[in-house]
Structure 1
């Protein structure tokens, strides 16, 4: 075998090994990227996979694009007066749920859009973009906003739209109640409530109405809410 042929074979083998190494590293990075995305997005990762009919690669591309667009976003802190205003409006929305669940979810949807905008996320007028940005930074609770928005707009549309949240009976009210409860978790993250305040089970006795006819605004339960 000539020296030239030996050299050619060595070059070919080296090229094959280099290509194999590159493919291996890409596959490894892809797997690590998938695990990283799943860890970052949690339940939002599973929703993306389901939305792409189980295609994890397509879901990961979508989530990676969200991170590229919104990962560098820095949330703006709220002034104490702003925080108090938002908390008062949320409490009012929860109070309204007792007599008008549909009004309450509409108020919660509008409030979350405004609050996210005040925190530096895309304007609420661009709901899909705002939701995508929130999913990057608040993936664990962003679905509450999605559910409230869906309930608010389905009810406003009437007809077939109401099927998304049920009719005006118990089923629709229950869906809206659960949406409000989940959305509150996102609200609390955005306003920056302390862990003590967030998990406090009940207000002081002095804060409860004396007549006992009204319930605390966070006590959205089946027996409190009337049909919408």
Structure 2
């Protein structure tokens, strides 16, 4: 997102969650950075790793991130929570705050195995903390359609989960240009707008939006 030295930022997600834990007020817009491409963000840095330990002993520990976002969500149409690939307290906080979970899975055997544990965690959060949480779908990423191995993993996930969950038709291909975006601090749409990854993400966004429109239509029909 363009901030190359996050450890030097005065206010990060860790700062705001610490305030929520200490019952201190969070000012509107506090800690929010504005990216040139029209996206706002609350950054994280190394302090967030230490916060996970502190969270364990906090009252209402699963809902600290939700408290932080409650002050900001009225200002935005969409808020995306980018989680690390672990099932620790920070991921539980994200699931407790979210309306829906979109699950990216690399087309590799170990990633596919980890998916089962994540789905169990989502079910547990839904039962105990956030009954409104739904699974938006499973997104296959870093795919390589040229290899038989990649095709096998993709088919395995679609067969194992496709009956009960949406597995997005659109997949995100492996690309060196996508890996470069972290270093240049630009999105794939700025860095390689005509490339296959930019096209894939545009297509995914349309698929997610179409699903959301369908859900809204169903809800309004039921309300009648």
TM norm. shorter chain > 0.5: no
TM-score by length of 1: 0.21
TM-score by length of 2: 0.22
Structure richer in helix, relative to its length: 1
Structure richer in strand, relative to its length: 2
